[in-house]
Structure 1
Amino acid sequence: MNTFPFLKRATAAGLLTAVGALALAACGAPEAPRAATVPAPAVGTPSRPPTLAPGPSGLTPVFMRAAGARDRTVALTFDADMTADQGPRAAAGERFDNPRLIGTLRRLKVPATVFMTGRWAEEYPRQARAIGRDPLFEVANHSYSHHAFTEDCYGLPTVPASGMRADVERAFGAFRRAGIEHPMPYFRFPGGCYDRRALKALNGTGVTAVQWDVVSGDAFATDAGAVARQVLDGVRPGSVVVMHCTRSAAPATEEALRTIVPELRKRGYRFVRVSELL
């Protein structure tokens, strides 16, 4: 039985947070896959969100940026990170959420894609539900545990190949329990680390793996100006920017946004969700 809810429904439209300081990096990116042709839906049924066709040998496809984009579109993405073993730290008062950042996105009317771990959705179900039901945003999968899908990924614990699909499914289950009705069929590898084995393990799930081409450098950064400059220097038409939605591990992100958003709009850029780039 298919346990991935997005296969039955539709929706409207450098560092990574972990136990320690992590760098954002992709491991062994495969040949860029071609876009899938999404069949027209039957009368009375909604269409699926856009995804990419499987890569060579049916491997899970990977999207990094809309390389052929002619108009000035950019997708801001935010990783809502929390590892499976950080519950005690949250109970002690550490904040892995950032409601002020979400509020700034709403105030500035910036569409965005939030890559959420299942553990984050369990810790902050009201926020997860509010983000998931806000038409400005879309929620995508960042694993349940935020454990790595490859060996040697910045010190993260490793998910065995036999448990990778279950970890992704568990995150979707956490989203459903939090009240996120329409998570997107997109998956971001913890630490950005993946290899052929990981892509094969997720084969058949229907997800498109989403990476990025612009690293904000916001994780553990305290200089909002430096974060803003790094984003502004890196953005090109069709870019995917990776940022973070965790107050304790990315304290300067919200302030940086207040520079990034008006400056990119001044340059003629339009903000879109990942689904719109696809």
Structure 2
Amino acid sequence: MNTFVRSVIAACVVGAGVLTACGAPEAPRAATVVESATGVASRPPTLAPGPGGLTPVFERASRARGKTVALTFDADMTADQGPRAAAGERFDNPRLIRTLRRLNVPATVFMTGRWAEEYPRQARAIGRDPLFEVANHSYSHHAFTEDCYGLPTVPVTGMRADVERAFTAFRKAGIAHPMPYFRFPGGCYDHRALTSLSTTGVTAVQWDVVSGDAFATDAGAVAREVLDGVRPGSVVVMHCTRSAAPATEEALRTIVPELRERGYRFVKVSELI
């Protein structure tokens, strides 16, 4: 990550509702309106734009009050993986979602539009469950920079359209209120990508704890990575895809009780922001 990108993160990180300076002090640009528990419509929290209107980046709540942690799950499926799904490969993970529900763990699911198209019933159920919030992980799961873990690349002229296409797929699946948060595929971004998305109103969400669950088969190792890395205000990146992260659900059964024993409270990304 280059110096410019790190400076954007440093300028935009918030904690427990306190927003540091990040561009002009203007109102959040979130387009999504959600209904609170009291029935009053409200806009989800976002960060103010960065210098020159640049898309802001959130990594962790550095000023978190108390021991809070956000577990996030990437529901990955690239635009060209339809034939693999048709042949029986599973990019979903219903057992993981059931475990989160059974353990009463709030979570943020960063979903690709292609995943929502492939699993519309699951996407709708996740999006309508108050325990969860759905955020944007692009439509195609193609990279927004060159040389990003071998992913195909979205041309700069197509970056905004790719994000908007994902939101369209969410609406078609029945997700009425996706959050105005975006996670770059592979976590790869640069100045060009942040500029390209500056008019979408999204806050880019990264992480500070890598679970290492991608393609991992050792649930204990995944759990240790998370437990060793979490600190107050952390954002943990995990995956909600059976074929690519088969050990994640089992790891959760260790992670959740252990963090609760340490005094941590699980929250969605929106609460950290």
Question: Does TM-score exceed 0.5, indicating one fold?
Answer: yes
Change (3 A) 1:45 1:225: closer
* DSSP-derived class of the 1:170 partner: helix
Q: How does 1:1-278 map to 2 (within 5 A)?
A: 28-31=5-8, 32-34=10-12, 35=19, 38=27, 46-278=41-273
SS state of the match for residue 80, structure 2? coil
Separation in 2 of the partners of 1:275 and 1:70? Answer: 15
Secondary structure of 2:41's counterpart equals coil
Measured after TM superposition, the shift of residue 134 of structure 1 is: 0.1
Shift of 1:46: 1.6
In structure 1, C-alpha distance between the alignment counterparts of 2:76 and 2:197, rounded to whole Å = 20
Q: Is the 8 A contact 2:207 2:235 kept in 1?
A: yes
1:37-62 per-position Cα deviation (integer Å, ceiling 9, x unaligned): 758x9xx9622100000111110000
In structure 2, distance between residues paired with 1:247 and 1:182: 25
Aligned residue pairs total 250
Aligned-residue offset at 1:204: 1.7
| Partner amino acid, structure 2, of 1:143 | S
Give 1:33's aligned amino acid: A
| CA–CA separation in structure 1 for the residues paired with 2:110 and 2:74 | 5
CA apart distance, 1:30: 3.7
Q: Which runs of 5+ in 2 are unaligned?
A: 13-18, 20-24, 34-38
Question: Per the alignment, in what secondary structure is the counterpart of residue 110 of structure 2?
Answer: strand
- Corresponding residue SS for 1:102: helix
**Letter of the aligned partner of 1:194 in structure 2?**
Y
Q: Specify the code of the residue in structure 2 equivalent to 1:29.
A: R
1:215-236 CA distance string (max 9 Å, x none) = 0000000000000000000000
Q: Secondary structure at the match of 2:6?
A: coil
Name 1:4's counterpart in structure 2: none
The Cα shift of 1:154 comes to 1.0
* 1:136-165 alpha-carbon deviations (Å, 9 max, x no partner): 000000000000000111111100110000
Structure 1 residues not aligned, in runs of 5+? 1-25
Counterpart-to-counterpart distance in 2, 1:29 and 1:104: 35
Post-superposition, which runs of at least 4 consecutive aligned residues in structure 1 deviate over 2 A?
26-39
Q: TM-score, normalised by structure 1?
A: 0.87
- Separation in 2 of the partners of 1:245 and 1:163? 26
8 A Cα contact 2:73 2:238, kept in partner: yes
Deviation at 1:29, TM superposition (A): 3.4
The answer on whether the counterparts of 2:27 and 2:48 sit within 8 Å (CA) in structure 1 is no
Amino acid at match of 2:182: F
